[in-house]
Amino acid sequence: MNEVINLRLNRERRFLVLLGVICLALIGGALYMQIVLGEAPCPLCILQRYALLFIALFAFIGAAMRGRTGVTVCEGLVVLSAVGGIAAAGRHAWVLANPSVSCGLDTLQPIVDGLPLADLMPSVFQVQGFCSTPYPPVLGLSLAQWALVAFVMTAILVPMGIYRNRNRP
């Protein structure tokens, strides 16, 4: 029985590693678009980067945990980070759909630029643009919409994986 539990836990760990790699790749894609294509990140973009970074961090920590409880706690933190990403990406998608609305640059910029990573890596985590700037869509969706899809999928698939792996006979 312990062998079956370990196999299922290993499946969760592999999923967490894959999730972490995907999140880092999404941050890499955002940096490519910023540096190579010149698309300046807005406050909500930066908050989405933080959410992706936290998901990756908690996913990798969870994958390294030996016990079931540690993995579960990290998976919970992954879901909480995804919910934060849903809030930022949802607001960003709404602002893009309603261009007359501001993302609150005057309010959000000092807060986002005051976060520790903005000082450590300003080219990655400092605000440089406006949320209402429309950039070309990727496969028909804006970047904010793609981010929203990714965050929602994470918030759904992680608990589903836990349920699937832990409630089987």
Domain edges within the chain = 2-166
User: Number of helices and strands (H, E) in the chain?
Assistant: 7, 0
List residues bridging with 138 in a β-sheet: 141
More confident of the two residues 143 and 5: 143
Q: Which tokens belong to 6? A: 């370990």
Checking if the pLDDT of 153 tops 80, the result is yes
34 HSE (CA, 13 A, CB side) = 21
Q: pLDDT band for position 108 (50/70/90)?
A: confident
How confident is the model at residue 9, as a pLDDT? 73
Q: How far apart are CA 113 and CA 115, in angstroms?
A: 6
Q: Tell me, which fold does domain 2-166 have in CATH?
A: Bromodomain-like (1.20.1550)
The C-alpha atoms of residue 41 and residue 130 are separated, in whole angstroms, by 7
- Single pTM value for the model: 0.86
